[in-house]
Structure 1
Amino acid sequence: MTTISPFAAGSYVANRNTAQLLTLKNQLNDLSNQLSSGKVSQTYGGLGTGRSTALAAQGTLSALDGYATGITAAQTRTNLAVTSLTQVATLGTSARAALNNGLQSVAVNSTAGRSLALANLQTALDTLNQSAAGNYLFGGRDTTTQPVLDADTILNGSTDAEGKPLDGLSEVIKERVEAQLGTDGNGRLAKSSSATSVKFTEEASATIPRLFGFTLTGTPTKTGAALNATITGTNPASLNVSLAAQPTAGDSISFSVKTPDGTSATVTLTAANSADSSSTTSFAIGASIADTMTNLSKTLDNALKGAASSTLAVDATADAATQFFSGSVNGGLTGKGVIPQRVQYVGTTPVGYAPPDPNTTVLWYQGENTYDTTKTPAVPTPALDTQSVQVSATGKVGTGARANDPTIQNVLAGLATMAFALPTTSDANTGATYQTVNDRAGALLSSSDQSDPSIQDTVTQLSIASTRLSNASTTNAATKNSLQNTLDGIEQAPTEEVVAKLLDVQNRLQASYQITSSLSKLSLVNYIS
């Protein structure tokens, strides 16, 4: 008779006992692992219905850890950017305040103002090269390139790869001022005189209105019968001043000269019994008409040079500085950089501005400088958006900044205007020159905190970004804590409960082993006895 083992008599009971013992042994192993590791299971499959929740929670926790790392780095960058820009804004406001205060004592404050403005300009340029963890803050999307050249190169120039000179700010300003003043420093007016008359003639210009020097326009006024003044001709026009007789003290002539930006300066000369030879307003009545004419010619010369130094030179300095700080190696309307205007000469006569040439001028800004060409005219893309950090699954915070932001450019140009245009001598023109610097530089420096927009607005934007980062960090930390608690409830094995179950299984397993051992020794003889 053949017997099939699994179905042999008594085999079911034996197999069942064996399976129960193995189950208890596996339970004992699982509980031992839980006690040693603190985990319910070493695999997600062992978590049962909680595995889907655990997997989702782990993915979210990993993302939150990534957000936290990005937020920490971004907060450091943003806080440093706020501190740096606040310093630049403070330099601008303090310089503007110094200018206004200096009006009370022009002679004392001019030289000191130049030195202070130059030092502030160098400090501002250095500040704009701030970096965090090796990443520059003010280069827009480009965080690896130093965004601003060193102050010495910016001020004094450099050479290109072929050894050709690249002009710095000081040379660019000098060139523009010389183009406006001319060889004689009187606004590019040519002088001719005789014993009883003097004439100043404009330099012929290819552009109307002219780009360089004074324009003679309008009708002069006079008092008394001895003095005569007329403006005749156009491009070039001439101012003719003559004496028909000896003037009387108090007789005067007045006329206006116009600058390239359209503003006018009025020159008034008054006859006096005595006058200083350096006067810009009074001329002495001499022993003869010829002597008086000599004095009048000298005073008129002084007046035109004074008007030129107090208007043309200051305006040229401010314009050149503004142009210089618009420069950039990258970006612009063409994407090939922004090149400052340079004066174009034919012989010794300035005739306009040369075509952009990056091989003539230091380009102070080296960072990213993209433009939005969908707008007319094209404008720089928002600096805040050039860098951003992911703070949640759907949220980003912009933290970017550029050193060539227009408000920063204005403050730098304002400091440069002070540093190069404040009067260095005390004479009849000092007060007027100082006032013009105060007007032009003050307007540029107002971009630190008074214009719309201003550097302070950028500081506010970055401060708001910092607050958003902080709030996101707090929210993410709370979310992470909640998820971690949920995950722990699924994955973590309670020690007390595991120990209790382990003791129970051990006792059951031990009892099962004892009973199994006893049953294995049972025989008919033992049973009958």
Structure 2
Amino acid sequence: MIGTLNGYSSSVMMNVLKNNSSLMQDLTIQLSTGKKAQTYGGLGRDAGVALDFRAQINAVEGYQTSIQQAQLQISMMNLGLERIVDMGAEVSGSASGTEYDITSNNKSVAQTTAATLVKEMIGILNTEVDGDFVFSGRTTDVVPAISYDRIVYGYAGEDGLLTVTDERIRADAGADGLGRLDVTSAGTTMTLSEEVTDFGYKLSAVTSTLDNVTVTGPTGSPPTIDVDVTGVPEANQILSFTFDLPDGSTEVIELTAKTGSSDAGDGAFSITGTPTDIATSIRDMLAFQLSKNVSTAGEAASRIQGSLDFYMTAANGEPMRVVGTPETATTLDTATAASKPTVSWYVGDNDASVSARDTAKVQIDNRIDVSYGARANEDSIARQLAYMTALSLPTYDQDSDVDKGRYTAFADAISAGLSSVRQGDVVKTTLTEIGVASKVMDDADSRHSTSLGMLLTALEEKEGIDDEEVAAKIMTIKTTIEASYQAAAMMYDLSLTKFI
């Protein structure tokens, strides 16, 4: 260490050596770190600008990290939803394209396939990404969907889908199997009327080409159709009734006028006899055809609607149940109101005040949030599960013509319900909504990448150094130090070792 020397010249000489030595040290640190200073205080008036750049860089990098995490979840959601669309199409094609070939478990290959795909679909809806269940709304720590077996058979004293759909079929058919319709005749008038109930067939329209027959309705509450026979119709003239079924589908029953006796199975009524006889024949043939239709197309519609009642629980809903004894029940209500404990297939977030998309949000820029959440029980998803699971439920006898009719009507209804127009496009809408969110994130990420490059360049200009410039300064200072040392050495016979 150089001590204090006497004389003004000596003091100046020592200060020069000290300052140059300190400057050499600073320049050496700058060269090794690439920074002008090790603290913001060392940047002088550029310190505030540098700090501002740093804050902006941290914010941009935070947005990019958030976008990356959200995009990973969206990617898995998209894969799952695309597979769900494919499964719906697969079941639709299998239901309509499979022969009536019942296996040893009393179900068709299409039904067994449907059960397998339902289990796969439940697995997709239980997708977990980085510890978050992406189809559980805001309750990302909750597995949203229960197992297939619990859904179908119930659990812990709560009824499952088999019980729910069985009750709906019985409620829609009624005790006499006529779809909650009353078919009567009095004199020359046949009357068809609805029962006052939430269930069964509903009268939609009636058309007639019959001569000497007056048809009115449906009118009144409950609606009624009257067929008044004033004379003898011509053979092959037609009386046609259109009904609305429980699942929203329609069925048409046609009765054809025929001379002589008629077989109930051929859809014809006899026009032999008096107007009273003809009205009675219309009543009997309509009742027979109704009973046949209720046991086939009606059963299919009821099972589908019962499944929809069970699955469609969005917006804080719960399964719907037949209130009371099915055959005589008049109302449908929630499982709680009906006092019939029923399993909830979806156990994730179901808050009606928050939309499914808003259950997950990511901030992608200053004051810009993007919603990309999803719930397993969204209507489009729940509807597909309802159809697919419904198909997997009933059993059939290979040698029964009645069961073959039941199966054919049911398979056709399932196929139509899962068609691309009626179901696939609905799920694709959900895919599109999430895809739009992903596109907005991608655009923001591209902007951030550009901004980040500009900010890093600007920060480097404030904090960084020019290596060649610093190296040149070091060489200049080194030369100055050596010259100063030689001068001092001659004055004080000072050695380099002592100086250091």
1:129 to 121, 126, 131: 126
Counterpart Cα distance in 2 of 1:302 and 1:94: 36
For 2:159, the equivalent position in structure 1 comes to 167
Change in 2 beyond 3 A, CA 1:495/1:190 = closer
Counterpart Cα distance in 2 of 1:273 and 1:440: 39
For 1:319, the equivalent position in structure 2 comes to 305
Provide, for residues 71-116 of structure 1, a one-character-per-residue CA deviation record: whole Å limited to 9, x for no partner.
Answer: 22111111111111111122223434455x54xx874699344333
Counterpart Cα distance in 2 of 1:357 and 1:445: 34
Counterpart Cα distance in 1 of 2:86 and 2:475: 73
Change in 2 beyond 3 A, CA 1:421/1:475 = same
How do residues 62-461 of structure 1 correspond to structure 2 at under 5 angstroms? 62-98=58-94, 102=97, 107=100, 111-159=108-156, 165-187=157-179, 207=196, 210-213=197-200, 256=241, 265-266=252-253, 268=255, 279=265, 281=267, 302-327=288-313, 332=315, 337-345=316-324, 349-354=328-333, 356-357=335-336, 360-372=341-353, 381-420=354-393, 426-427=401-402, 429=405, 433-434=409-410, 437=413, 441-442=417-418, 446-449=422-425, 454-461=426-433
Provide, for residues 103-152 of structure 1, a one-character-per-residue CA deviation record: whole Å limited to 9, x for no partner.
Answer: xx874699344333333333222211112112111112221111222222
Q: CA deviation at 1:256?
A: 4.7
The 3-state SS of whatever aligns with 2:365 is: coil
Q: Percent identity?
A: 25
For 1:243, the equivalent position in structure 2 comes to none
Q: How many residues align?
A: 465
TM-score by length of 1: 0.71
Contact 2:370 2:437 in 1 (8 A): yes
Give the letter aligned to residue 348 of structure 2.
G
Change in 2 beyond 3 A, CA 1:342/1:495 = same
The 3-state SS of whatever aligns with 2:142 is: coil
For 2:34, the equivalent position in structure 1 comes to 38
Q: CA deviation at 1:30?
A: 0.8
Give the letter aligned to residue 154 of structure 2.
G
Give the letter aligned to residue 151 of structure 1.
Y
Change in 2 beyond 3 A, CA 1:502/1:131 = same
Contact 2:255 2:269 in 1 (8 A): no
Structure with max Cα Rg: 1
Q: Does structure 1 residue 519 correspond to structure 2 residue 491? A: yes
Give the letter aligned to residue 331 of structure 2.
G
Provide, for residues 234-278 of structure 1, a one-character-per-residue CA deviation record: whole Å limited to 9, x for no partner.
Answer: 9899999xxxxxx9xx7999685855759664363777999889x
Q: CA deviation at 1:326?
A: 1.7
Contact 2:131 2:141 in 1 (8 A): yes
Counterpart Cα distance in 2 of 1:392 and 1:224: 75
Counterpart Cα distance in 2 of 1:444 and 1:155: 26
Give the letter aligned to residue 177 of structure 1.
I
Q: CA deviation at 1:184?
A: 4.9
For 1:27, the equivalent position in structure 2 comes to 23
Change in 2 beyond 3 A, CA 1:420/1:273 = farther
1:503 to 472, 475, 492: 475
Counterpart Cα distance in 2 of 1:58 and 1:40: 16
Change in 2 beyond 3 A, CA 1:252/1:510 = closer
Give the letter aligned to residue 144 of structure 2.
P
Counterpart Cα distance in 2 of 1:234 and 1:29: 101
Contact 1:314 1:437 in 2 (8 A): yes
Structure 2: runs of 5+ lacking an equivalent: 185-189, 213-219, 271-280, 495-500
Change in 2 beyond 3 A, CA 1:482/1:191 = closer
Q: CA deviation at 1:445?
A: 6.9
1:48 to 34, 44, 62: 44
Structure 1: runs of 5+ lacking an equivalent: 1-5, 160-164, 193-198, 226-232, 241-246, 285-294, 373-380, 523-529
Contact 2:89 2:420 in 1 (8 A): no
The 3-state SS of whatever aligns with 2:323 is: strand
Counterpart Cα distance in 1 of 2:420 and 2:302: 14
Give the letter aligned to residue 125 of structure 1.
I
Change in 2 beyond 3 A, CA 1:395/1:364 = same
The 3-state SS of whatever aligns with 1:166 is: coil
Change in 2 beyond 3 A, CA 1:305/1:118 = farther
Moved more, 174-183 or 76-85: 174-183
Contact 1:386 1:399 in 2 (8 A): yes
Provide, for residues 321-357 of structure 1, a one-character-per-residue CA deviation record: whole Å limited to 9, x for no partner.
Answer: 22211226xxx4xxxx312221112696213124541
Q: CA deviation at 1:498?
A: 2.7
The 3-state SS of whatever aligns with 1:391 is: strand
Contact 2:318 2:334 in 1 (8 A): no
Provide, for residues 506-529 of structure 1, a one-character-per-residue CA deviation record: whole Å limited to 9, x for no partner.
Answer: 22122222222322369xxxxxxx
Change in 2 beyond 3 A, CA 1:308/1:269 = farther
Counterpart Cα distance in 1 of 2:433 and 2:86: 17
TM-score by length of 2: 0.75
For 2:497, the equivalent position in structure 1 comes to none
